[in-house]
Amino acid sequence: MKPTRLIALALACIIQPVFGRDLLLTETDDVIRVTLGDKPVLEYVKTEKPVPDGIELHYRRSGYIHPVYTPTGQEMTGDFPADHAHQHALFFAWTKAGYDGKKVDFWNQAADLGRIEFRKVVNLKREKKQVSFSVKHAFTVKSGDKTIDVLHEIWTVTVHQTPEDHFLFDIESVQQCASDKPLNLPQYRYGGMAFRGNIQWLKEKEDHSINPGDVVYLTSEGKDRWEGNHTRPTWVAFSGKIDGQDVSAAIFGSPKNFRAPQSVRIHPNKPYFCFAPMVDGPFKIEPGKEYTSKYRYLITSKAADVKLIEKQWSEYSTK
């Protein structure tokens, strides 16, 4: 074999991604857990977690993902943060809404105007290069002395086999009215699919300084956490240090989503953002019609890499 051919083969071996680690999907009474080899990727919460000391009981919730881990083992997400205990890691909630002539709110739990809960596991699936699970949620409100279902939601979470330097997973949410009445969503500044980051990234109110290790936001349009609020990027990335380790997450909104690219709410001080289609005007989730949302999550143990993010976006957006 010619030397040039040998060199080419050697280079191919060096740069070829290695997918040798197995994905493992495990269900217990309380959680669904996914690992890649010996590395935890994420946990889905089936049973309400105990409320931390100092947090009121009404902040309990099921039907969300926490923790989301980095490849080096840091917890990327935060749950029950003392500043906003209703922000539960990776969650979906509508905020200002109306149902049957009443105001409802599934985001701000202290208002007691609505709740979201896990109902059942629909499916667990293991394939050659991915694992997935589907779960049912109910959005509920009080009606007299009863609690009634307003929406039913199916989450399908798919974790892809990847090289060990990053994790990649998708969430599809399919919502349907649970009765013959719609859920009305007026124009508002936030609500929808949200991601709450680690509490180490929390800033004091009105503190716009950027110190080493602080969370830094970047959108597909090159905007930061202040300029990017209420814009319509195709992806939002944030990176910083957790326990001294560089980490990053990039979240992609599917081009097939309602009002894609959806507006985003990026908070100026708190480490969270959400995709918020109601920013651009009111809409309804109507009986007999599915409201489907899809998102992809890229998690790494390094600062946000725009080239990698754009490569992943190109693959995701053309599927």
C-beta atoms surrounding 253 within 10 Å:
29
pTM: 0.92
Where do runs of H (alpha helix) occur along the chain? 3-15, 306-317
- Number of structural domains in the chain: 1
Q: Is residue 317 domain-resident?
A: no
Judge contact between 245 and 225, C-beta under 8 A.
no
pLDDT at residue 67, as a whole number = 98
pLDDT at residue 203, as a whole number = 76
Q: Is residue 226 domain-resident?
A: no
The CA distance from 59 to 215, in Å, is: 25
Question: What is the Cβ-side half-sphere exposure of residue 190, based on CA atoms within 13 angstroms?
Answer: 14
Q: Is residue 315 domain-resident?
A: no
Both structure tokens of 215? 């969370």
The CA distance from 314 to 310, in Å, is: 6
Q: Using omega within 30 degrees of 0 as the cis cutoff, is the peptide bond preceding 40 cis? A: no
Q: Is residue 4 domain-resident?
A: no
* Residues of the domain holding 170: 24-206+262-294
Q: Is residue 62 domain-resident?
A: yes
pLDDT at residue 27, as a whole number = 98
Helix (H, G, I), strand (E, B) or coil at 55: coil
Q: What is the pLDDT of residues 147-160, one digit of tens each?
A: 999 999 999 999 99
Q: Is residue 304 domain-resident?
A: no
pLDDT at residue 7, as a whole number = 39
Q: Is residue 104 domain-resident?
A: yes
C-beta atoms surrounding 72 within 10 Å:
16
**For every one of its 319 residues, what pLDDT tens digit does the chain have, with 9 covering 90 and above?**
544 444 343 433 333 444 447 999 999 999 999 999 999 999 999 999 989 888 999 999 999 999 999 999 999 999 998 888 899 999 999 999 999 999 999 999 999 999 999 999 999 999 999 999 999 999 999 988 899 999 999 999 999 999 989 999 999 999 999 999 999 999 999 999 999 999 999 877 777 778 888 999 999 999 999 999 999 999 999 999 999 999 999 999 999 999 999 999 999 888 999 999 999 999 999 999 999 999 999 999 999 999 999 999 999 999 7
